[in-house]
């Protein structure tokens, strides 16, 4: 589905040109991915929806990555844990993402759930990674200390995230 030349999109300098290429080349691949992923997610009995990033607030800088998010909310995904399939200039990624847009009343609940998931984090394959920001192409191995540090930071700092994936 994704091909080597898809990664070259991120070397295009201007916002308009890069966005056009993202819409023309990556968007259809995200739609195709969503058609395969949504039936699997919906097997849980919960209805899931795909949200392809549109980058509408960008007016100057071209995006360094783009994604399709999967969430059990038709109106959006940022305010709840969600899955995110995305592309950077050097890789494709798939994350379980808990981002900074969580409603304040839900933060303690999700932190409790993330703490309860520590055994699952320990059992992840060695190629899984953690990231603290979906907008920065940087990750680290999924060791339990790094996970604990990210969860603590998420609980204490409003603008923080916890992403787990490959």
Which is nearest to 111 in space by CA: 67, 138, 83, 151? 151
Enumerate the domain spans of the chain.
Answer: 4-165
- Pick from 6, 4, 9: which is nearest to 63 by CA? 9
What is the structure's pLDDT at 59? Answer: 87
- Looking at domain 4-165, what is its CATH homologous superfamily? Protein of unknown function DUF1054 (3.30.930.20)
Q: Is the dihedral angle over the CA atoms 116, 97, 91, 13 positive or is it negative? A: negative
Query: Tell me, what's the pLDDT at 18?
Result: 96
The vertex-73 CA angle with 72 and 77, nearest 5°, equals 95
Predicted confidence at residue 105, as pLDDT, reads 81
Counting as low any pLDDT under 70, the low residues of the chain are none
CA separation, residue 106 to residues 35, 36, 46, 76, 97 (Å): 30, 30, 19, 16, 15
The distance in angstroms from the start CA to the end CA of the chain is 17
Give the model's pLDDT for residue 84: 97
């Amino acid at each position: 589905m994704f091909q080597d030349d898809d990664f070259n999109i991120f070397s295009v300098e201007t916002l308009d040109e890069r966005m056009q290429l993202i819409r023309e080349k990556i968007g259809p691949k995200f739609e195709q991915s969503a058609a395969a992923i949504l039936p699997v997610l919906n097997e849980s009995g919960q209805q899931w929806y795909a949200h392809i990033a549109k980058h509408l607030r960008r007016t100057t800088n071209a995006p360094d990555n783009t994604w399709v998010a999967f969430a059990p909310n038709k109106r959006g995904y940022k305010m709840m844990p969600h899955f995110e399939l995305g592309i950077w200039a050097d890789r494709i990624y798939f994350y379980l993402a808990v981002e900074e847009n969580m409603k304040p009343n839900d933060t303690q609940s999700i932190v409790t759930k993330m703490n309860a998931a520590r055994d699952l984090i320990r059992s992840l394959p060695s190629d899984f990674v953690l990231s603290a920001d979906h907008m920065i192409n940087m990750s680290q191995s999924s060791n339990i200390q790094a996970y604990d540090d990210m969860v603590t930071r998420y609980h204490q700092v409003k603008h923080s995230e916890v992403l787990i994936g490959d």
